[in-house]
């Protein structure tokens, strides 16, 4: 009977976890696309470093990171095993099950362990297959013993993290406090992975083995202590705050005319955060711990490395990172501003207040801004102050007042953009679990951006980092404005748990693909049959209207790329190496071997299609980069040819290398970029009759149909011209 009840509880939780498409899709994206990104990054790093010993370690290290990241993001489910049931008002029914306390705890633990293991296993499988198929020379470093060892390491880490998360969930009083306390799991485990990575690179596998033995002990301790201390009556008796009293207090606050409604809402949220030690303590510890650890690590590296110049050059980036980490963990507060109220049962009291939707949204947004921005600012000041008082003058030298201000600006703008996106997610999801999983669509792009900023800072391209900060500010404003425009109390109150119905999802997608109409049209009212004639005569004008703003943005970005390319002069060896990859100027005037038109067509269509899919979680950046890099390269090459008196000059370069096929290929890339930006817009500007998921399905269907019926024909024609007409034009310009 006990075993049957345990199995029932496990199956119930696993079914609930995988029945909500908003839970499943982020896990699938992390498990499928993240391994490809990591594999590509490691391939580029190995080619750039060109050192066999380091490459031998990087390949298995990529597998370790690939398995760890999905498991860490999947930790959201285990954190809700008990406290989530409480806030969804299903805890009493669960605790009345005819099973012992230990059996109930173990059933919850097994169910919580399933999603992290599945997502990590799928991610590691994708990474291994992609590595084996892509490059045989790199695949030789990913041996079966390495794969088996890393699978065991990820299994141990998943068990340890889930055991700690379930224990936290059984003791926490709210999902918000549980998620913030999770930082005491994720940060140490991230440090452990970094140490293991260093040990793998240095081939010190004994330390790795000892670390994992210690993690087994930690996992066992959390699991045994959790089962020993778990008590149903204690959980049922635990209260954090009465909902009725909260609503009454809020009404009293709003009756006080000393403050406007927006400030009142913001004060309520800030007061709630600052009066709950379970929320305040993790934020405070992170804000203090991150700069202290960064300061200690920097001082240690400076005094122990044989050449500390690299540490000194990294100081501005470390400063930026110190501000980013506390802000990213404080993002949990922003992710719960609306959906957290719903799960705590206080949403109806909040929405009954006599204020407009705009005032309510702005108040929540203002309150959500304060913890991340404040945490990042305090961490930056602590790190800088520690360097100024206790650090070496050489470490402080690269961080001038101007550089400090710039890093503060970029860090703050990134925090604002993350919070604005998190509040949009919170207003369009049905549970805190889903909101936290969808947060991966914020953290993954921002993390990639942080890596790019590291390259810019090391190269001292602070002019570009300023542009990044301004772009983050613009993104924050767009997200805030779009969130206010799509905010609707009635739709939030009526939004319930959505089961993952693949038939309904496919039906809606197929309907959107058969006939393109403006976003917001019911898919049941669309044409039952696909018509190519209707697409070119009626549907194309609809697409142009839907993407006209995106096309304008792409055109402006392309114009900026042309201007920058025409004035850009490589100022370092790194810049010259990069430009030599994009535009090998030493070969201008030489006709390279021309592949077949099918090879060109396959390469271009694959790249544009995959970049469009990546637009789902890069906010369209992946598609926008294609035309930007292309126009920048053309502009740079033409300017170089003109300035260095190359045969034909700048016009000859454009005519001989670009113009014949580029007249078709480049506009196709711009069109794909605009469609990618429209996919990104589906998250932030939702028609009243659509959910975020349905709007995303509509945008993906439009992208796929445009790709099949417009972009592919253009790319095919461009590839034919590239192998037939372009070489003839080249010979006319350069001779031969």
pLDDT of residue 736: 59
Contacts of 125 by beta carbon, 8 Å cutoff, 6+ apart:
none
Question: Which range among 419-428, 531-540, 673-682 shows the weakest confidence by mean pLDDT?
Answer: 419-428
Per-residue pLDDT averaged across 176-193, rounded? 76
- Look at the block and give the residue holding tokens 């030690």: 277
Degrees, nearest 5: CA angle 241-242-247: 110
pLDDT at 93 over 80: no
The whole-number pLDDT of residue 254 equals 45
Cβ neighbours, 10 Å, residue 85: 19
Q: What is d(CA 315, CA 324) in angstroms, rounded to the nearest whole number?
A: 14
Average the pLDDT over 671-696 and give the result. Answer: 82
Dist CA 696 CA 117 (whole Å): 28
Using alpha carbons only, what angle is made at residue 471 by residues 470 and 473, rounded to the nearest 5 degrees? 65
Which among 41-45, 227-231, 410-414, 440-444 has the top mean pLDDT? 410-414
User: How high is the pLDDT of residue 700?
Assistant: 92
Q: What band does 217 get if pLDDT is binned at 50, 70 and 90?
A: very high
Confidence at residue 235, expressed as pLDDT on a 0 to 100 scale: 67
Q: State percent of the chain over pLDDT 90.
A: 11
Q: Which two tokens stand for residue 209?
A: 């083995």
pLDDT reading at 632 higher than 50: yes
Of the candidates 525, 565, 557, 561, the residue with the CA atom closest to the CA atom of residue 676:
557
3 state DSSP class of 20: strand
Calculate the average pLDDT of the chain: 78
**467 pLDDT more than 80:** yes
Alpha carbon distance 413, 381 (integer Å): 17
| Residue 675 confidence (pLDDT) above 90 | yes
- Evaluate the CA torsion angle 295, 297, 302, 304 in order and state its sign: positive
The pLDDT score that the predictor gives to residue 4 is 58
pLDDT exceeds cutoff 60 at 48: no
| Domain definitions of the chain by residue range | 1-240, 251-494, 510-734
The pLDDT of residue 322: 85
CA angle 13, 15, 17 (to 5 degrees): 70
DSSP 592: P
CA 170 to chain centroid: 29
The confidence score (pLDDT) of residue 248 equals 45
State the pLDDT at residue 277. 66
Q: What's the pTM value of the predicted model, to 2 decimals?
A: 0.64
Q: State which H helix or E strand residue 25 sits in.
A: helix 21-49
Statement: residue 603 has pLDDT above 80: yes
Say whether pLDDT at 393 is over 80: no
DSSP string, 639-702: HHHHHTT-TTHHHHHIIIIIHHHHHHHHHHHHHHHHHHHHHHHHHHS--TT--HHHHHHHHHHH
Residue 67 confidence (pLDDT) = 86
Q: String of b and e for 419-428 (b: at least 16 CB within 10 Å)?
A: bbbbbbbbbb
**pLDDT for position 559:** 93
On the question of pLDDT at 650 being above 90, the answer is: no
Q: Is the predicted pLDDT of residue 148 greater than 60, yes or no?
A: yes
**pLDDT (average), residues 148-161:** 90
**What pLDDT, on a 0 to 100 scale, did the predictor assign at position 402?**
86
- pLDDT over 70, % of the chain: 79
- Pick the range with the lowest mean pLDDT from 198-212, 241-255, 438-452: 241-255
In this predicted structure, the answer to whether residue 290 has a pLDDT above a threshold of 60 is: yes
**Residue 62 phi, psi (nearest 5):** -60, -40
Average pLDDT over residues 337-346: 75
Other Cβ atoms closer than 10 A to 213: 10
pLDDT band at 245 (very low <50, low <70, confident <90, very high): very low
pLDDT in tens, 566-581: 888 777 666 677 677 7
User: Tell me, what's the pLDDT at 250?
Assistant: 45
């Amino acid at each position: 009977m006990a075993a049957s009840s345990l199995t029932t509880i496990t199956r119930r939780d696993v079914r609930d976890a995988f029945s909500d498409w908003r839970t499943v899709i982020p896990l699938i994206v992390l498990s499928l696309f993240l391994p490809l990104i990591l594999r590509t990054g490691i391939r580029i790093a190995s080619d750039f470093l060109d050192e066999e010993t380091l490459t031998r370690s990087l390949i298995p290290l990529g597998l370790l990171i690939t398995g760890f990241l999905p498991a860490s993001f999947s930790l959201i489910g285990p954190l809700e095993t008990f406290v989530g049931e409480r806030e969804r008002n299903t805890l009493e029914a669960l605790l009345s099950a005819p099973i012992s306390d230990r059996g109930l705890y173990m059933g919850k633990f097994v169910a919580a362990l399933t999603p992290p293991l599945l997502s990590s296993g799928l991610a590691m499988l994708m990474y291994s297959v992609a590595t084996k198929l892509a490059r045989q020379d790199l695949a030789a470093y990913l041996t079966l013993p390495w794969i088996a060892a890393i699978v065991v390491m990820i299994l141990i880490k998943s068990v340890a993290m889930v055991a700690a998360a379930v224990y936290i969930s059984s003791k926490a009083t709210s999902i918000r406090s549980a998620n913030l306390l999770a930082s005491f799991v994720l940060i140490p485990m991230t440090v452990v992975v970094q140490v293991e990575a260093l040990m793998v690179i240095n081939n010190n596998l004994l330390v790795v083995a000892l670390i994992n033995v210690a993690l087994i002990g930690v996992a066992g301790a959390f699991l045994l202590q959790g089962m020993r201390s778990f008590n149903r009556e204690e959980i049922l008796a635990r209260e954090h705050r009465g909902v009725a009293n909260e609503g009454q207090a809020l009404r009293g606050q709003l009756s006080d005319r000393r403050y406007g409604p927006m400030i009142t809402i913001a004060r309520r949220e800030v007061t709630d955060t600052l009066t709950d030690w379970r929320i305040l303590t993790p934020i405070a510890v992170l804000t203090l711990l991150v700069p202290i650890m960064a300061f200690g690590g920097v001082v240690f590296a400076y005094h122990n490395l044989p050449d500390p110049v690299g540490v000194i050059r990294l100081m501005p980036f470390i400063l930026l990172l110190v501000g980013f980490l506390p802000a990213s963990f404080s993002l949990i507060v922003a992710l719960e501003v609306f959906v957290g109220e719903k799960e705590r049962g206080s949403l109806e009291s909040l929405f009954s207040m006599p204020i407009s939707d705009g005032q309510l949204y702005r108040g929540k947004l203002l309150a959500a801004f304060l913890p991340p921005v404040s945490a990042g600012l305090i961490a930056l000041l602590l790190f800088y102050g520690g360097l100024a008082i206790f650090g070496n003058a050489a470490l402080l030298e690269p961080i001038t007042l101007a550089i400090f201000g710039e890093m503060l600006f970029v860090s703050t703008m990134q925090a604002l953009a993350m919070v604005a996106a998190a509040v949009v997610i919170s207003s369009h999801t049905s549970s805190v679990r889903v909101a936290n999983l969808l947060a991966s669509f914020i953290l993954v792009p921002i993390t990639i951006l942080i890596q790019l900023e590291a390259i810019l800072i090391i190269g001292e391209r602070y002019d570009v980092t300023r542009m990044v900060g301004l772009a983050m500010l613009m993104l924050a404003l767009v997200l805030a404005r779009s969130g206010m425009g799509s905010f609707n109390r009635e739709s939030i109150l009526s939004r319930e748990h959505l089961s993952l119905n693949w038939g309904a999802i496919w039906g809606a997608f197929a309907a959107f693909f058969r006939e393109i109409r403006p976003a917001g049209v019911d898919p049941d009212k669309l044409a039952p049959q696909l018509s190519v004639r209707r697409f070119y005569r009626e549907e194309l004008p609809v697409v142009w209207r839907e993407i006209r703003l995106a096309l304008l943005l792409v055109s402006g970005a392309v114009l900026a790329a042309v201007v920058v390319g025409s004035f850009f002069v490589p100022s370092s060896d790194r810049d010259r190496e990069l430009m030599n990859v994009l535009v090998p100027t030493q070969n201008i005037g030489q006709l390279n071997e021309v592949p077949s038109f099918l090879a060109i067509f396959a390469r271009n269509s694959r790249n544009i299609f995959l970049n469009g899919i990546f637009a789902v979680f890069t906010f369209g950046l992946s598609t926008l980069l294609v035309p930007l890099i292309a126009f920048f390269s053309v502009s740079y090459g033409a300017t170089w040819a003109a300035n260095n008196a190359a045969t034909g000059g700048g016009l000859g370069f454009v005519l001989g290398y670009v113009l014949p096929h580029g007249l078709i290929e480049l506009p196709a890339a711009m069109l794909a970029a605009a469609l990618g930006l429209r996919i990104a817009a589906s998250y932030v500007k939702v028609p009243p009759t659509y959910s975020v998921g349905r709007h995303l399905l509509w945008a993906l269907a439009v992208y796929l149909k445009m790709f099949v019926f417009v972009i592919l024909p253009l790319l095919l024609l461009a590839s034919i011209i590239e192998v037939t007409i372009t070489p003839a034009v080249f010979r006319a310009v350069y001779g031969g």
